[in-house]
Chain A
Amino acid sequence: MSKSNHLIQPESENPQIENRAPENGSPDVYTATTGGGACEHLSELLSRVGSNPFRNFPDCVKVRPLGRASIRRDPPQLFVRCGVCRQAPHRLYTCVTCAAVFCHVHVASHPADVDVDDSDRSLHYIAVDVDRAELFCCGCRDQVYDRDFDAAVVLAQTEAAVIGSMQETPLLPVESTRKRRRVEYKPWTPDVNEQVLIVGNSNPFPSQMSNDSASPEVQWGLRGLNNLGNTCFMNSVLQALLHTPPLRNYFLSDKHNRYFCQRKNSTIVTRSSDNTNKNPVLCLACDLDAMFSAVFSGNQTPISPAKFLYSWWKHASNLASYEQQDAHEFFISVLDGIHETMQNDKGKGPSPGSGDCCIAHRVFSGILRSDVMCTACGFTSTTYDPCIDISLDLELSQGTSAKVTSKKSHKSHKKKEAEPRKSSQNGRLSTLMGCLDHFTRPEKLGSDQKFFCQHCQVRQESLKQMSIRKLPLVSCFHIKRFEHSVIKKMSRKVDHYLQFPFSLDMSPYLSSSILRSRFGNRIFSFEGDEQDTSCESSSEFELFAVITHTGKLDAGHYVTYLRLSNQWYKCDDAWITQVSENIVRAAQGYMMFYVQKMLYYKASEKKVS
Chain B
Amino acid sequence: MSASREDNISQPQLSAHVFDELLDSIITDVASECHRVAKLGLDRNLEEEEEELRLSAQARATVADPSNSSETNGKYVVDIFGQTHPPVATEIFECMNCGRSIMAGRFAPHLEKCMGKGRKARLKATRSSTAQNRYTRGSSASTYSPYSTPTSTSRLPNGSSGVSGHEYSNGSLEDL
| In the complex, A178 has a CB within 8 A of chain B | no
Q: Residues of B contacting A318 with CB < 8 Å? A: 137-138, 140-141, 165
Q: Residues of B contacting A300 with CB < 8 Å? A: 81, 83
- Residue from B35, B88, B156 having most chain A Cβ neighbours under 10 A: B156
Contact (Cβ within 8 A) A328 B149:
no
Q: Complex: how many Å from CA A124 to CA B85?
A: 81
| In the complex, A439 has a CB within 8 A of chain B | yes
| In the complex, B127 has a CB within 8 A of chain A | no
Given the contacts A89-B2, A332-B145, A215 and B62 also touching, CB distance less than 8 Å: no
| In the complex, A329 has a CB within 8 A of chain B | yes
Q: Residues of A contacting B150 with CB < 8 Å? A: 368, 370, 383, 385, 387
**CB-contact partner of A325 in B122, B169, B172, under 8 A:** B169
Q: Complex: how many Å from CA A229 to CA B106?
A: 6
Contact (Cβ within 8 A) A321 B168:
no
**What 1/0 mask marks residues of chain B from 76 to 100 whose CB sits below 8 Å from any chain A CB?**
0111111101001101010111000
Instruction: Using CB atoms, name the residue of chain A closest to B37.
Output: A521
Instruction: Using CB atoms, name the residue of chain A closest to B107.
Output: A228
| In the complex, A565 has a CB within 8 A of chain B | no
Contact (Cβ within 8 A) B153 A449:
yes
Contact (Cβ within 8 A) B21 A89:
yes
**What 1/0 mask marks residues of chain B from 95 to 136 whose CB sits below 8 Å from any chain A CB?**
111000000111111011001111100100100000001001
Instruction: Using CB atoms, name the residue of chain A closest to B112.
Output: A322
Instruction: Using CB atoms, name the residue of chain A closest to B69.
Output: A580
Instruction: Using CB atoms, name the residue of chain A closest to B21.
Output: A90
Min CB gap A341→B, angstroms: 13
**CB-contact partner of A404 in B53, B63, B111, under 8 A:** B53
Contact (Cβ within 8 A) A274 B80:
no
Q: Complex: how many Å from CA A553 to CA B98?
A: 33
Q: Complex: how many Å from CA A87 to CA B88?
A: 82
**CB-contact partner of B158 in A91, A222, A439, A486, under 8 A:** A486
| In the complex, B170 has a CB within 8 A of chain A | yes
Min CB gap B142→A, angstroms: 10
| In the complex, A30 has a CB within 8 A of chain B | no
| In the complex, A601 has a CB within 8 A of chain B | no
Q: Residues of B contacting A523 with CB < 8 Å? A: 40
Q: Which of A528-582 contact B (CB under 8 A)?
A: 553-556, 569-570, 573-579, 581-582
Given the contacts A321-B118, A322-B112, A404-B57, A306 and B93 also touching, CB distance less than 8 Å: yes
| In the complex, A249 has a CB within 8 A of chain B | no
Q: Complex: how many Å from CA A89 to CA B22?
A: 10
Q: Complex: how many Å from CA A324 to CA B63?
A: 28
| In the complex, B15 has a CB within 8 A of chain A | no
| In the complex, A35 has a CB within 8 A of chain B | yes
Q: Complex: how many Å from CA A126 to CA B115?
A: 79
Given the contacts A304-B91, A310-B96, A370-B150, A226 and B104 also touching, CB distance less than 8 Å: yes
Q: Complex: how many Å from CA A485 to CA B155?
A: 12
Q: Residues of A contacting B32 with CB < 8 Å? A: 129, 132, 134, 143
Given the contacts A273-B137, A553-B170, A226 and B45 also touching, CB distance less than 8 Å: no
Q: Complex: how many Å from CA A304 to CA B89?
A: 9
Given the contacts A88-B1, A503-B48, A586-B59, A554 and B96 also touching, CB distance less than 8 Å: no
Contact (Cβ within 8 A) B144 A274:
no
Contact (Cβ within 8 A) B168 A387:
no
Instruction: Using CB atoms, name the residue of chain A closest to B92.
Output: A304
**What 1/0 mask marks residues of chain A from 354 to 398 whose CB sits below 8 Å from any chain B CB?**
000000010001001010000000000001011111110100000
Given the contacts A321-B118, A443-B153, A585-B59, A86 and B107 also touching, CB distance less than 8 Å: no
Q: Residues of B contacting A581 with CB < 8 Å? A: 59
Q: Residues of A contacting B57 with CB < 8 Å? A: 404, 406-407
Contact (Cβ within 8 A) A317 B53:
no
Contact (Cβ within 8 A) A309 B52:
no
**CB-contact partner of A505 in B48, B88, B119, B145, under 8 A:** B48
Instruction: Using CB atoms, name the residue of chain B closest to A488.
Output: B157
**CB-contact partner of B149 in A35, A145, A323, A387, under 8 A:** A387
**CB-contact partner of A313 in B42, B115, B163, under 8 A:** B115
Q: Residues of B contacting A321 with CB < 8 Å? A: 112, 117-119, 122, 171
**What 1/0 mask marks residues of chain B from 1 to 37 whose CB sits below 8 Å from any chain A CB?**
1101000000000000000011011001100110111
Q: Residues of A contacting B58 with CB < 8 Å? A: 407, 582
- Residue from A34, A228, A521 having most chain B Cβ neighbours under 10 A: A228
| In the complex, A482 has a CB within 8 A of chain B | yes
Q: Residues of B contacting A361 with CB < 8 Å? A: 147
Contact (Cβ within 8 A) A320 B115:
yes
Contact (Cβ within 8 A) B60 A228:
no
Q: Complex: how many Å from CA A301 to CA B148?
A: 37
Q: Residues of B contacting A583 with CB < 8 Å? A: 59, 63, 71
Instruction: Using CB atoms, name the residue of chain B closest to A482.
Output: B168
- Top 9 A-B pairs, shortest CB-CB distance: A326-B168, A323-B171, A229-B108, A324-B170, A585-B59, A320-B117, A226-B89, A582-B59, A87-B2
Q: A321-B118, A404-B50 are in contact. List 19 more A-B contacts (CB 8 A).
A: A36-B41, A132-B29, A215-B82, A227-B105, A228-B104, A233-B170, A304-B104, A309-B108, A316-B144, A317-B140, A336-B143, A389-B149, A391-B149, A391-B155, A393-B156, A484-B167, A501-B49, A521-B40, A570-B72
Which residues of B approach A to under 8 Å, CB–CB? Answer: 1-2, 4, 21-22, 24-25, 28-29, 32-33, 35-37, 39-42, 45, 48-50, 52-64, 71-72, 75, 77-83, 85, 88-89, 91, 93, 95-97, 104-109, 111-112, 115-119, 122, 125, 133, 136-138, 140-141, 143-151, 153-159, 161, 163, 165-173
